[in-house]
């Protein structure tokens, strides 16, 4: 198990994802301890105490993050036809407060918290997916999960989550191809026909995964979307496995 922290911006880029064994884990109904880091639910907010070392350059990442849900969602749906992989937002509309000692940084803003779980490795049912979320004008959050399976039809989940945790389905817009990444990764975005998607910034660009900030159209609005693409065959490729220890070291 690992705590992944990715920082971008003026404070510099930092990445942590140290995988820890059972010896470093402790869990209760309200707390999860991963080595020197800790996640704690106090009944109103999720408190994340971070004390990690970034890779590949060893730099400490230490500080506190607090996520305040506006409402807790009670929605979960299968991502594959067999129902062995499931996704559900926990706090799709939330605010965040960040105070970091290393590097020195402090900010607050909108946040989003969800959950993925599976009963088997992801390379069994999937080939790739595109996922995006956007904050709408009324404070709700629009999410599109565009999944391609090895067998069976594409599964597209398009859902609008209201600040109080309720949600409603909507008809997903058409799929638009985005520019390939530096690793030649194909990615697409579902956006309103009259509002073509534009990549504003690519935050993570890896052989199998890319995270970007887009301008796109959703439900008649021009929105800023956080967008992710995952290419599953590249995840399990031998070349990727050889590179993983540089990005995801293992400790006890």
109-161: per-residue pLDDT in tens?
999 999 999 999 999 999 999 999 999 999 999 999 999 999 999 999 999 99
Three-class DSSP category at 124: coil
The 10s digit of each residue's pLDDT in 152-188 is 999 999 999 999 999 999 999 999 999 999 999 999 9
Whole-structure pTM value = 0.94
DSSP 169-224: E-----EEEE---TT---EEEE--TTS--EEEEEEEE-SSEEEEEEEEEETTEEEE
Over 90: is that where the pLDDT of 209 sits? yes
Over 80: is that where the pLDDT of 11 sits? no
CA distance 141 to 224: 11
Q: The domain containing residue 51 runs over which residues? A: 5-251
Over 90: is that where the pLDDT of 12 sits? no
152 φ/ψ angles, rounded to the nearest 5 degrees: 100, 170
Q: Give the chain's domain count.
A: 1
The 10s digit of each residue's pLDDT in 49-95 is 999 999 989 999 999 999 999 999 999 999 999 999 999 999 999 99
């Amino acid at each position: 198990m690992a705590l992944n922290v990715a920082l971008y911006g003026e404070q510099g880029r930092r990445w942590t994802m140290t995988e820890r064994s059972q010896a470093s884990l402790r869990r209760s109904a309200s707390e999860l301890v991963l080595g020197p880091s800790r996640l704690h639910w106090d009944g109103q907010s999720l408190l994340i105490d971070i004390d990690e070392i970034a890779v590949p350059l060893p730099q400490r990442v230490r500080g506190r993050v607090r996520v305040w849900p506006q409402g807790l969602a009670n929605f979960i749906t299968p991502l594959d036809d067999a129902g062995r992989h499931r996704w559900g937002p926990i706090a799709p509309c939330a605010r965040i407060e960040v105070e970091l000692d290393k590097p020195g940084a402090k900010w607050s803003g909108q946040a989003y918290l969800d959950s993925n779980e599976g009963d088997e490795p992801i390379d069994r049912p999937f080939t790739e997916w595109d996922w995006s979320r956007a904050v709408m004008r009324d404070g709700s959050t629009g999410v599109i999960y565009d999944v391609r399976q090895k067998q069976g039809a594409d599964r597209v989940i398009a859902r609008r989550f209201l600040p109080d945790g309720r949600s409603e389905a909507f008809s997903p817009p058409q799929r638009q191809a985005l520019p390939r990444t530096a690793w030649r990764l194909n990615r697409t975005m579902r956006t309103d026909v009259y509002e073509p998607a534009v990549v504003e910034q690519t935050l993570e660009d890896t052989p199998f995964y890319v995270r970007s900030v887009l301008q796109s159209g959703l439900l008649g609005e021009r929105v800023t979307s956080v967008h992710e693409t995952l290419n599953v065959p590249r995840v399990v490729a031998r070349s990727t496995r050889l590179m993983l220890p540089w990005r995801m070291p293992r400790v006890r």
